[in-house]
Structure 1
Amino acid sequence: MTEFVLIAGAWLGSSAWEEVVPRLWAAGHGVHPVTLSGLAEKRGVPAGQQTHVQDIVDTVERRALRDVVLVGHSYSGIPAGQAAERIGDRLARVVFVDANVPHDGESFVSGWPEGRAMVEASIAANGGFWPPLGPGDFEGQGLTGEQVARLVAGSTPHPGATLTEPAVLSRPLGELPATYVKCLLDGPEPTPDVAALLSGERWQLVEMETGHWPMFSQPHELARVLLDAAERPGA
């Protein structure tokens, strides 16, 4: 039995996975959606990026999980990628869902040079938090009006320190067994750093014909992708 640990991206908590979870359960697996510190029902809890890494590691260790597939969406690929190497032989695979990936000594904003000034200015103007997107920001992402409404209702301001603090890795990310899910409505090609990782033997590319939030726009299809990833050889 695989144990799926699901971590949504910026602004979102564990409820983002509510339409994916039943499919994974029905296939006989354990499912553990995580709300990172400072978000959703944990709003108000102080958090930096290493807090989020520890949130994920603690979930795995506290529940004594093994054969773990870590799933990190968007921003959460950064803490998930770091947590993956820290849980050792408990890890089966990492799945990055249209995600940023960590680089030792680099932060979320340093990996997004064209948007760094915008994000840092927004954090400074909003009391140390990155404010959530509004309904208009989800256009062209394959979402219905109802799905956008759910996404907006489930979003909370994102702790800014998690976006500006550097990642810490002790070995090359390409050594991890990984699947990268590229959502094509959010761009036809992986970023250059992800493309370089996909050129290695341990990373697999999967494409989805949807936007950046597939747990809302195509939850059943995403569940199938995760189940398929769990069947691939791990570490």
Structure 2
Amino acid sequence: MATYVVVHGAWHDGSLLADVAGHLEGMGWSVHTPTILGNGAGEDKSVGLDAAIGSIADYIAAHDLTDIVLAGHSYGGMIISGVYDRMPDRIKRLVYWNAFVPHDGESLDDLVPPPFAQLFSDLAQAGGSGGFSVPYPIWRDGFFSDGDGNLAQNAYDKLNPHPHATFADKISLKSAPGNWEVGKSYINGLNDAAMPHSLGWHPRLSERLGIFRLVQVMDGHEALFINPKGAAEALHMAGQD
């Protein structure tokens, strides 16, 4: 069977992708959903971007995974970009799921509106541990705007503080994403309000991939909770040959 590695976003961990993974497995995929270093409950929140990327590269190497489809959701786009840069021979397609597509020397903070970056910094400084949580009003109206309120609260209660350094650190890449010799796909949720639509995911970030397969769905940012079957179907379409 073909192998899918799906990398979660900020404040999440790999366990929250279980429903999506189950549907993907029903479509014939072998699915891995590792947790990025620093995103597990109770983990050290001083982790930087390089170590976070390294944790997923180490997971792939430890499980001897090859010929994989590597997907990243949101912040996970930073991770899969760095992983591909380190081990391109193991990856046959990259899938960005409403995800950040950085160029060399850029941070996630560089790719969001300046007030967002300032808010992240302020929250991390207030927390004092290097990690910070997304405020619930932003989660409910931005990330979860297309979902039920009870489900939004239930999902929010499963999130973990995120290491701020992974947002502030600059990524190091050998070449631009448009030059990568690998299959590339972008999943764009048309109801995704996690980023303002004036500075949205597609085409602002997706077009950095050069030639890519575009899969558009009606979902918001947190389809993994709200519509896991639909999310799996989008990943299947984005990842298949």
TM-score, structure 1 normalization: 0.89
Q: Give the unaligned 5+ runs of structure 1.
A: none
Partner of 2:13: 13
Report the AA paired with residue 5 of structure 2: V
CA distance in 1, matches of 2:173, 2:50: 11
Q: C-alpha root-mean-square deviation of aligned residues, in Å?
A: 2.0
Residue identity matched to 1:132: V
Equivalences for residues 14-163 of structure 1 within 5 A: 14-41=14-41, 43-44=43-44, 46-114=46-114, 115-127=116-128, 128-134=130-136, 137-139=139-141, 141-163=145-167
Report what 2:208 is aligned to: 197
Q: Secondary structure at the match of 1:180?
A: strand
Render the CA deviation track for 1:155-184: whole Å, top value 9, x for unaligned.
Answer: 111011111111111011122421111111
How many residues were matched structurally?
230
For the structure 1 residues 226 and 152, does the alpha-carbon distance in structure 2 shift closer, same or farther, using more than 3 Å as the test? same
Per the TM alignment, residue 28 of structure 1 is displaced from its structure 2 partner at its CA by 2.5
Contact 1:141 1:210 survives alignment (8 Å): no
Query: What amino acid sits opposite 1:101 in the alignment?
Result: V
Counterpart CA distance in 2 for 1:123 and 1:136 is 16
Distance across 2 between alignment mates of 1:116 and 1:22: 34
Which of structure 1's runs of 4+ aligned residues deviate more than 6 A?
A: none
8 Å contact 1:40–1:155 — kept in the other structure? no
Q: Distance in 2 between matches of 1:195 and 1:44?
A: 32
Residue number among 189, 193, 198 corresponding to 1:183 in the alignment: 189
| Structure 2 counterpart SS, 1:40 | coil
**Deviation for aligned residue 1:148:** 1.3
Report the Cα distance in structure 1 between the residues aligned to 2:240 and 2:138, rounded to whole angstroms. Answer: 38
Identity %: 29
Q: Distance in 2 between matches of 1:38 and 1:19?
A: 22
Q: Aligned partners of 2:101 and 2:191: how far apart in 1?
A: 19
